[in-house]
Amino acid sequence: MTTSETVPRELRVVVMGAGMAGILSGIKLKQAGFTSVTIYEKAARVGGTWRENTYPGLTCDVPSHSYTYSFEPNPDWTRFLPPGAEVQAYFERAVQKYQIEPMIRFNEEIVACEFKDGRWHLAMKSGLRDQADIVIAATGVLHHPSMPSIAGLDSFAGSSFHSARWDHTVALDGKRIGVIGNGSTGVQIMSALAGRASMISHFQRTAQWIFPVQNDAFTEEQKAAFRSDPVLLHRMQNEETYLANVERFTNAVLDPNSPEIREIEAIALNNLNHSVADPVLRAKLLPDYRVACKRLIFSPDYYRAIQHPQAALVTDGIECVEAGGVRTRDGKLHQLDVLVLASGFKADQFMRPMNVVGRDGVKLNDVWAKRPSAYLAVSIPGFPNFFMLNGPTGPVGNFSLIDIAEQQWAYIAQLIELVRSRQCSEVEATQAAMDDYDTARIAAAKTTVFGSGCSSWYLDGEGVPATWPWSQRRFKEAMAAPEQAHFALRA
C-alpha cells in the first residue's frame, strides 16, 4: 500500500548556468529520475568559461584525462594539457550524449531569485518567470570580467578588449601588441603571440612563479589504445603521478614552511634560473612572495617567449593609456596597435549581480556584505533548498574542479533526497554550523600559503583567503555525507 507520505515528491528543479557544473547537474538529475528540470543559461551556448574564453594560446592547466567527468572519459584528447577549444567541444558532446539539451533555456539570464511561500520565484531578464522547489547555483567563479582601473583606457585609438571578450576580427600578425596582466591568461597569450607580433609588450605588475611542464601530444597509437582499453583509459583519468602531485600540492599550501612547499619553490626557482639567461630580466621575473601564494602558473614556453627578440617585459608601472599606446611612469610611451586586458575576473561575485533573496526577505548581498561564504561551500542559512557547486570557500588551486563538483553533487543529492522523500520540505545549513565552520575556516586559511603575503583573487575584501584551508582528503570526507545536526529541516 502506498500513501502520499511514501510516494516520492515531484520536485521542480532549476539550475543556474550551463557550464561544467550545470551540465553535471543536468546529467545527474536526469539519471536520478527528475523530470521537471530547467537549466537557465545566459548565453547562446553551453560551456561557461570555456565558451567565453577563446584567446590565442588558451590551455587548461589540469591534465586532460583528469579534467573529465568520472563517468565520461575521453580517449581523443590531443595533448597532455588540452587546448580550450577541445575542452569546450568535450562539454558540448556530453550535453548531446546525455540528451540534456532539451532542459536548457539559452539566452535567459536570471536577474532575481526569491524564496516566497515555500518556493523559489525566478525572474529572467527577458521577462520570463518561473518557480522551483530546488535551485542549484552552478554559475561558476570566473565569468564576470574585471576591468583594470587605468586612466585614459577609453582613449586608446587601436583595438582594445578583455581577454574573455576576444575580438577575432582584429589582425595580430605584424602588429604592436600590449598585454596587461600576467596571470595564466596573460602568460598563455604572450606565449602564443611572441613571434607573430612585430613587438609584443607584457606589462607586469607582479612577477609570477612559473612551474615547468611538458605539453606533449598524444600519438595516434596512444589514442587508439585509449579507445580499445577501458581499463587503460580509466587509469589515465586517475593517473597516479597527477593524484600524488595534487596531494603534495594541497598539503604544501597548508603550511608555508613545509618541506613540500619548499620543494615546489625550488623547482620553480630552478626553472627561472635555467631558462632565462639575462640576469636583469631574470631579476624582474623573480617573485617576492612565497610560491603558490598566487595561483601557480604552469607553462612550457613562457620564459622562451618573453626572451623573443620581438617581445619585451615592462615592469615600470602604468601611468595611463593614450590614443597611441600605454605610457609608463618612467615617461615612455609604448606605441601599440592592439591592447589586451588580461586582468582576470571578479571572483567574489558567484551568482551576483543576480538579486537573491532568502526566507523572510533576507538578501544575499547583505549576508555576503563582509565576505561570500557558505557552509562547506554548498549551503547558506536562510536560503532553503538552495545549493551551490564550486561556491565560496570551496577548494581552489591547481587541480580539477570537475572532481570537486562531482564530490559536491554527491553531497547535495543527499540533501535533495530529504525533500524528495518527504522527510522535510525545506533544508538548509543552520546558522550555528555556518558560524562554527566560518570561524574554523578563517583561522586555518590565514595560516596557509595563500595568506602568506601577496595580492591574489583568492583573497576576500579583508585579505583573508576565501578558500578551503584543509586537505583534499578532509574535503572528501566532509562530502561523503551531510551531518544532519548541521542542517535545519522544516516540514
Q: Residues 314, 334: contact at Cβ < 8 Å?
A: yes
* 58 CB burial (10 A radius; 0-12, 13-18, 19+): buried
Q: Round to the nearest angstrom and report the end-to-end CA distance of the chain.
A: 23
pLDDT higher at 347 or 126 = 126
The mean pLDDT of 48-68, rounded to a whole number, is: 96
- Going by their DSSP bridges, the two strands 159-162 and 176-180 should be labelled as unpaired
Grid cell, residue 141, equals: 567563479
User: Does the pLDDT of residue 42 top 50, yes or no?
Assistant: yes
pLDDT of residue 240: 77
pLDDT above 90 coverage of the chain, percent: 87
Cα distance between residue 73 and residue 64, in whole Å: 10
Cα angle: 177, vertex 50, 227; to 5 degrees:
120
The mean pLDDT of 157-169, rounded to a whole number, is: 98
Write down the pTM of the prediction.
Answer: 0.96
- Going by their DSSP bridges, the two strands 487-490 and 426-429 should be labelled as antiparallel
Beta bridge partners of residue 162, listed in sequence order: 341
pLDDT of residue 2: 39
pLDDT of residue 75: 97
Q: State the helix-helix crossing angle for 20-31 and 401-420, rounded to 10 degrees.
A: 40
pLDDT of residue 140: 87
pLDDT band at 1 (very low <50, low <70, confident <90, very high): very low
pLDDT of residue 5: 62
Grid cell, residue 26, equals: 543536468
Question: Domains plus CATH for the chain?
Answer: 12-144+346-490 (3.50.50.60), 153-223+256-341 (3.50.50.60)
User: Does the pLDDT of residue 3 top 90, yes or no?
Assistant: no
Residue type, 328: T
pLDDT band at 4 (very low <50, low <70, confident <90, very high): low
Phi, psi of 431, deg, nearest 5: -65, -35
Cα dihedral sign, 438-442-444-449: positive
Averaged pLDDT score across all residues of the chain = 95
Cα distance between residue 16 and residue 226, in whole Å: 34
The mean pLDDT of 377-391, rounded to a whole number, is: 97
pLDDT of residue 250: 84
Summarised one tens digit per residue, pLDDT across range 408-441 is 999 999 999 999 999 999 999 999 999 999 999 9
